[in-house]
Chain A
Amino acid sequence: GENVEQHPSTLSVQEGDSAVIKCTYSDSASNYFPWHKQELGKRPQLIIDIRSNVGEKKDQRIAVTLNKTAKHFSLHITETQPEDSAVYFCAARSYGNNRLAFGKGNQVVVIP
């Protein structure tokens, strides 16, 4: 099955700086890559996703890039704010599948 890995496990950034989280996946047939954000004590929520026919997608301060050849995708957060502090999960879904394979999560800490 699909295997997704996330790096680094913890990331600390100064407020206003950018944060980048990378994920790699194993199944070249994967075609859907969502990112979920989980704030402390809350449920994971989708913040952005990308499909395999697109290389980049942006939504205000967050963007996701996909490199199908290298089988990795990244989340970029610009002008970080304290409310960006959370655990971020990447995931991948293989073609024809209903299930997502999640990475282990990244703790992002934004230092005011």
Chain B
Amino acid sequence: DVKVTQSSRYLVKRTGEKVFLECVQDMDHENMFWYRQDPGLGLRLIYFSYDVKMKEKGDIPEGYSVSREKKERFSLILESASTNQTSMYLCASSGQTSGTDTQYFGPGTRLTVL
């Protein structure tokens, strides 16, 4: 059973703070993704990675960066948090060990920036 975990369920930060959101998967998946979910806007892709140290911009990368130093871990970084980054952040992974196509999601981190 694929397990994708995220470091926090709820997070409250101040404007201008540096924020780290971490995601870990235990299925040796090559691909990892970060989405943000906002009401009426669905799931929007921020960044994704298809291998260690590789990253690709998604549809809304501005204000974010990512790090993938190990295969199982994918971090999302908000260099200087702003109030418009208040959102639900979802991590997902997919890979050969579970059929490549299916994306498995983490439980989400609800981030509030004050």
Contact with B along A13-57 (1 / 0, CB 8 A): 000000000000000000010101000001111100100000000
Check A45–B105 contact: CB distance below 8 A. Answer: yes
Q: Which residue of A lies closest to B43 (CB)?
A: A102
Max chain A Cβ within 10 angstroms of own Cβ: one of B41, B58, B102 = B102
Check B101–A99 contact: CB distance below 8 A. Answer: no
Query: Do A99 and B48 contact each other (CB < 8 Å), given the known contacts A44-B90, A44-B105?
Result: yes
Q: How far is the CB of A54 from chain B (nearest CB, A)?
A: 14
Check A102–B105 contact: CB distance below 8 A. Answer: no
* Prevailing SS type, chain B contact patch: strand
Q: How far is the CB of A72 from chain B (nearest CB, A)?
A: 17
How many chain A residues touch the partner (CB < 8 A)?
21
Instruction: Report A-chain residues with C-beta under 8 Å of the C-beta of B40.
Output: 9, 104
Check B101–A32 contact: CB distance below 8 A. Answer: yes
Q: Which of B85-114 contact A (CB under 8 A)?
A: 90, 94, 101-108
Assess whether A73 is interfacial by the CB under 8 Å rule: no
Q: How far is the CB of B91 from chain A (nearest CB, A)?
A: 10
Known A89-B43, A98-B31; 6 more pairs at CB < 8 Å? A34-B102, A46-B102, A46-B103, A99-B56, A102-B45, A105-B42
Which A positions have Cβ atoms within 8 angstroms of B? 1, 9, 32, 34, 36, 42-46, 49, 89, 93, 98-105
Which B positions have Cβ atoms within 8 angstroms of A? 31, 33, 35, 40-45, 48, 50, 56, 58-59, 90, 94, 101-108
